[in-house]
Structures are given as structure tokens and as C-alpha cells.
């Protein structure tokens, strides 16, 4: 599954194009492309400037502080880190089975996060490309462009996101820097009034999420030739699944399917993740490349996130989302195809199915009186090591800690979703370069194709890096001697951060 475009034979003789940094991708990422004299693509690499300082940030802190502290690793998905750390610390305090109230409150918080994150990505980051086309003028390819041309779509995106934030606020206790989830459970339940406040809007969120699935499904079907082939590549898929094989984004065991959809591993205990996967290092990238240990680095890499999850599971436990999953799977088998859909743009369709699943799950949970229960925590035999795994919006998120006799974290290891997808994103970029850039004169629209492919994964690097200031798109074309011979740029906003 390796790519011949990873390393060119004679890089010193080739021209270099760099897309640095990427717009609408959190954190720092850069794509470098080497072209020969005939503009044929010889090498493509996605470089992600991963900052590994978070382990150091956590080490030495009392274990009970960690679920709160790790939210500051990422301004985009703090709840995912909050819950993954809590799950790891559950093991430390011996709480292998939470109370019903605690488990349901955490699930509610998590699905609130999934809803708001998926809404932001689809309506804010992805829909401008999908609605206007990859080559449309730059000024339209953003949320305000969508708002002008499709006001109702933009408004729904904002209100879906707002609702997800309100679910998080109610369960985590605060709008940001929540403290709701603690080792062994939660520190508050929901009052009837808090539930009623959310219930009044939850059915509407289900309806809008359902409409969003119809929208992306229609876009995909209307332009099936492009959507099915753009940045498509074969890969293994990894995700959590429930004990019965159902989709579960909060808790489960690990499942891996190969590129043909056959089960490679199933019900792997998350505490044993380190036996399942290893991380390779490549000299040209700061970010590691995880792979399945038993298959090796070349064949063992995989994709995570919505496209993997929706096709890895056997069913979805909510009515509307399950119907949509079945239609998605049927589509994957149309026109003589077999096995999973490997189209990168199908991430969007799968993501909206998950958003619908999240909205339905929230709607169901809010009616459950267990959310207002008073049995909030539990504990058991202390352990010195714990692993917490959760399906964050972008994919599998692993938190692994060791705690010493003084209750301080001595070892921390985090594998974030974007790291799992490192090789997959590189493969997507290479497919685009090969198909759309090879032999053609570069333009801003063509280079946006590269970003469209990366954006489909919704990579979030802010847990690895911090974006100082706005991130303009700058592309430079250099000759073999490193001299700049062409340049494209997009102006930044007026103030930095």
C-alpha cells in the first residue's frame, strides 16, 4: 500500500511547489510537490508540524487534574480529550463499570461534541467547496459565501452547532473548560429543567441533521463520477465498535477491516492497543505514522474517522441513521463494486450520517430519567496504568497514562485522530496530484483540490500545534536551484492572534 510518489528518485533536479500553510485546517500543515521539467508530479508529501509537548505538559500532574487540563490541548475538540482522559483515569481508580447516570451523562456530552463538530465541518469548512465547486472564486469558498447563496443552510449550521454547545455546557458544567467528567464518573447530573431546555429543540436538530444527509447524498449522487474517484485509495479501516458490532462513538473495542471489508481484528481490548498498533517515524515528517503491528509498516496503515466507522460497524442503533447507513452501504455496492467505499469525499456523507446518529441519540437520552440520577461516581481496585479510547469527531483518540504511588502521572502517551490518518491523508494528496495536477499548469483552483482532499478528513492539529495569527494560503514554485519562479498567495485577515 506504499506509494511511488512518496520519494522521488532525483529530487535535486526537480521543481518544488509548497502549499504552506493550509487554510481551513487547524494547526500547521504543508504540502510539498516536486515536478519535473514537463510538470509531471514526481513526489508529494503532506508535512504536519506535530508538537509532542503535550506529554510533558501532563507528566507530573495529579491524575485527577488531567481530564480538565487536557482540554487545553485542543480548542477544537476539548471534550474528546476530556472524556478520553476520564476513561483512562476510570481504570486508574478501578471504575471499570460506571453508574448508569454517569455513563449516560458522558454519552450525552460526547454526542453533543460530535454534533457541533460535524456541523461546523460540514456547514462551515466543507460545504463551500461542495456547493460552489473546487475551482470557484476564493471569496465564495467560505461560510459567508454559503450564507449569501444558501442562507437557510448557513443558519442551520450555526444553530446545530449552538445546540451541540448547549448540550456540552449542560453536561460539562461550563461553556468551555468543563469539569463534568471526573475519574470514576461525573460530578453533576441534569435537572429536569436543564433537560426540558434542551428537549424543546432536539427534534428540530434531528430533522435538520436528516436534511443534511439528504443534501450531501444528493451532491454525491449528482456528481458520482467525481465524488467516487476523487482522492480515492484503498486502505484498512479502524474504529471502536460496540460489543454487538454496532456503531458506538463513546465506548467499545477495536475493530479493523482490510481494504476489501474483511475483518482483520475484532473486539480487541482497548487496554491492549499497544499490541495492535505501532508508530513509524519517517525522516521527512514530524508526525508519526501508525500501523498495524502484525501487518507491518507497508501494509498495516489504516484510515480512521467517519468513513471508517460507518463501514466498520454492523449497524447503527438509531432508526434514521441506520436507514441512511444501509443506503450508504448499498451505494458502495452499486455498479458492480464490492467492499467498502474508499472515496475520500464519501467522508462527508458518512460524517452527516454520524451527525444524524448523534442528534437522534441526544434526543433519546434527554428523555431518560437516569440523566437526573444521583449515583454519580464509583470506584474499585486501584491500578497504575490506564488507557482511554474514544471515537472523537475526527477518529480514534487514545490516551494512555501511568500513575505513580504519589498519584502523579509518570508517563503519558496520546495518539490523536489526525496522527492515525497521517498515511491516509498523504495517500489522498498523492492521488489528487497524480490525477489533477500532473502535467498541468498550476492554478489556485487546482491547488485547492489538494486542500479539498485533506479537508475531507477534517484534520485538527491544534492539539499538536498552535496557529499564531491567521493562516494565509501561500504557494511558491521554485526551480531546482531553489529560486522562486512563481508565487500565489491569499491575504490574511487584518489582525493576528
Partner 1 sequence: MTEPSLVFAWGNPSRGDDALGPLFIERLEALAAAHPQWQRYEALTDFQLQIEHALDLRGRQRILFVDASMACTAPFAVSSLVRERDTSFSSHSLSPQALLQVYRDLDGDEPPPAQLLAIRGERFELGEDLSAAARTHLDAALAWTAAWLAAP
Binding site for partner 1 (CB under 8 A): 23-27, 51, 53-54, 56-57, 69, 72-73, 75-76, 78, 116, 120, 123-125, 138-139, 141-145, 147-148, 151, 154-155, 157-159, 161-162, 165, 175-177, 460, 462, 466-472, 490-497
**To the nearest whole angstrom, how small is the minimum distance from the Cβ of residue 65 to partner 1?**
12
**To the nearest whole angstrom, how small is the minimum distance from the Cβ of residue 31 to partner 1?**
16
Q: Are 465 and 7 in contact (CB under 8 A)?
A: no
Strand order in the sheet with 15-19: 41-48, 29-35, 15-19, 474-478, 484-489
Nearer to partner 1 among residue 131 and residue 467 (C-beta): 467
Three-state DSSP class for residue 273: helix
**To the nearest whole angstrom, how small is the minimum distance from the Cβ of residue 150 to partner 1?**
10
**To the nearest whole angstrom, how small is the minimum distance from the Cβ of residue 489 to partner 1?**
11
Q: Are 108 and 164 in contact (CB under 8 A)?
A: no
Nearer to partner 1 among residue 218 and residue 493 (C-beta): 493
Distance, in Å, from the CA atom of 188 to the CA atom of 210, rounded to the nearest integer, reads 31
Residue 21: asked if its preceding bond is cis (omega within 30°), the reply is: yes
**To the nearest whole angstrom, how small is the minimum distance from the Cβ of residue 9 to partner 1?**
35
Nearer to partner 1 among residue 22 and residue 249 (C-beta): 22
Helices and strands, counts by H and E, the chain: 17, 16
**To the nearest whole angstrom, how small is the minimum distance from the Cβ of residue 63 to partner 1?**
18
Nearer to partner 1 among residue 135 and residue 266 (C-beta): 135
Nearer to partner 1 among residue 346 and residue 464 (C-beta): 464
C-alpha cell at 60: 507530573
What does 47-81 look like in DSSP terms, one character per residue?
A: EE----HHHHHHTTSBGGGHHHHGGGG-SSSHHHH
Nearer to partner 1 among residue 150 and residue 257 (C-beta): 150
Nearer to partner 1 among residue 24 and residue 430 (C-beta): 24
147 CA to centre of own chain:
25
Closest CA to 275 of 256, 253, 294: 294
Nearer to partner 1 among residue 59 and residue 377 (C-beta): 59
**To the nearest whole angstrom, how small is the minimum distance from the Cβ of residue 229 to partner 1?**
27
Nearer to partner 1 among residue 131 and residue 278 (C-beta): 131
Closest CA to 121 of 354, 348, 428, 424: 348
**To the nearest whole angstrom, how small is the minimum distance from the Cβ of residue 497 to partner 1?**
6
**To the nearest whole angstrom, how small is the minimum distance from the Cβ of residue 154 to partner 1?**
6
C-alpha cell at 492: 490574511
Question: CA–CA distance from 229 to each of 2, 86, 220, 224, 443 (Å)?
Answer: 19, 40, 11, 8, 21
What does 340-391 look like in DSSP terms, one character per residue?
A: ----TTHHHHHHHHHHHHHHHHHHHHHT-GGGG-S--B---S--SEEEEEEE
Q: Phi and psi of 174, rounded to 5°?
A: -145, 160
Amino acid at each position: 500500500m506504499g506509494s511511488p510518489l512518496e520519494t522521488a528518485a532525483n529530487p535535486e533536479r526537480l521543481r518544488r511547489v509548497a502549499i504552506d500553510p493550509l487554510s481551513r485546517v487547524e494547526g500547521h500543515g504543508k504540502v510539498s510537490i516536486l515536478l519535473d521539467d514537463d510538470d509531471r508530479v514526481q513526489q508529494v508529501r503532506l508535512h504536519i508540524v506535530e508538537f509532542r509537548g503535550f506529554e510533558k505538559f501532563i507528566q507530573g500532574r495529579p491524575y485527577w487534574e488531567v481530564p480538565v487540563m487536557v482540554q487545553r490541548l485542543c480548542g477544537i475538540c476539548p471534550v474528546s480529550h476530556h472524556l478520553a482522559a476520564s476513561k483512562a483515569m476510570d481504570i486508574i481508580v478501578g471504575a471499570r463499570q460506571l453508574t448508569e447516570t454517569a455513563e449516560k451523562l458522558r454519552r450525552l456530552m460526547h454526542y453533543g461534541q460530535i454534533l457541533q463538530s460535524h456541523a461546523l465541518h460540514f456547514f462551515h469548512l466543507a460545504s463551500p467547496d461542495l456547493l460552489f465547486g473546487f475551482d470557484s472564486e476564493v471569496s465564495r469558498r467560505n461560510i459567508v459565501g454559503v450564507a449569501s447563496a444558501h442562507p437557510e443552510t448557513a443558519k442551520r449550521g450555526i444553530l446545530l452547532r449552538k445546540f451541540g454547545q448547549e448540550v456540552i455546557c449542560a453536561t460539562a458544567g461550563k461553556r468551555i473548560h468543563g469539569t463534568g467528567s471526573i475519574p470514576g464518573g461525573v460530578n453533576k447530573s441534569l435537572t429536569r429543567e436543564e433537560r426540558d431546555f434542551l428537549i424543546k429543540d432536539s427534534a428540530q436538530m434531528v430533522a435538520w441533521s436528516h436534511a443534511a444527509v439528504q443534501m450531501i447524498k444528493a451532491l454525491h449522487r449528482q456528481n458520482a463520477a467525481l465524488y467516487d474517484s476523487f482522492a480515492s485509495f484503498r486502505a484498512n479501516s479502524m474504529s471502536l465498535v460496540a460489543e454487538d458490532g454496532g456503531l458506538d462513538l463513546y465506548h467499545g473495542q477495536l475493530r479493523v477491516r482490510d481494504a476489501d471489508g474483511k475483518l482483520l481484528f475484532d473486539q480487541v481490548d482497548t487496554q491492549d492497543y499497544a499490541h495492535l498498533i505501532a508508530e513509524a517515524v519517517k525522516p521527512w515528517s514530524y508526525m508519526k505514522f501508525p500501523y498495524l503491528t502484525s501487518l507491518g509498516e507497508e501494509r498495516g496503515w489504516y484510515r480512521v474517522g467517519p468513513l471508517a466507522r460507518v463501514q466498520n460497524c454492523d449497524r447503527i442503533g438509531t432508526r434514521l441513521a441506520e436507514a441512511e447507513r444501509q443506503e450508504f452501504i448499498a451505494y458502495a455496492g452499486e455498479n458492480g463494486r464490492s467492499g467498502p467505499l474508499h472515496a475520500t469525499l464519501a467522508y462527508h456523507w458518512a460524517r452527516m450520517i454520524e451527525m444524524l446518529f448523534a442528534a437522534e441519540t441526544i434526543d433519546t437520552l434527554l428523555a431518560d430519567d437516569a440523566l437526573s440520577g444521583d449515583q454519580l461516581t464509583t470506584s474499585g481496585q486501584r491500578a497504575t496504568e490506564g488507557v482511554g479510547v474514544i471515537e472523537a469527531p475526527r477518529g480514534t483518540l487514545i490516551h494512555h497514562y501511568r500513575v505513580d504511588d504519589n498519584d502523579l502521572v509518570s508517563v503519558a502517551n496520546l495518539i490523536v485522530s489526525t496522527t492515525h490518518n497521517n498515511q491516509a491523508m498523504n495517500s489522498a494528496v498523492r492521488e489528487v496530484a497524480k490525477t489533477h495536477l500532473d502535467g498541468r499548469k498550476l492554478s489556485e483552483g487546482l491547488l485547492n483540490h489538494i486542500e479539498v482532499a485533506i479537508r475531507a478528513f477534517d484534520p485538527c492539529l491544534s492539539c499538536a500545534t498552535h496557529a499564531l495569527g491567521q493562516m494565509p494560503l501561500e504557494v511558491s514554485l521554485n526551480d531546482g536551484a531553489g529560486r522562486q519562479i512563481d508565487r500565489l498567495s491569499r491575504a490574511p485577515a487584518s489582525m493576528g492572534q
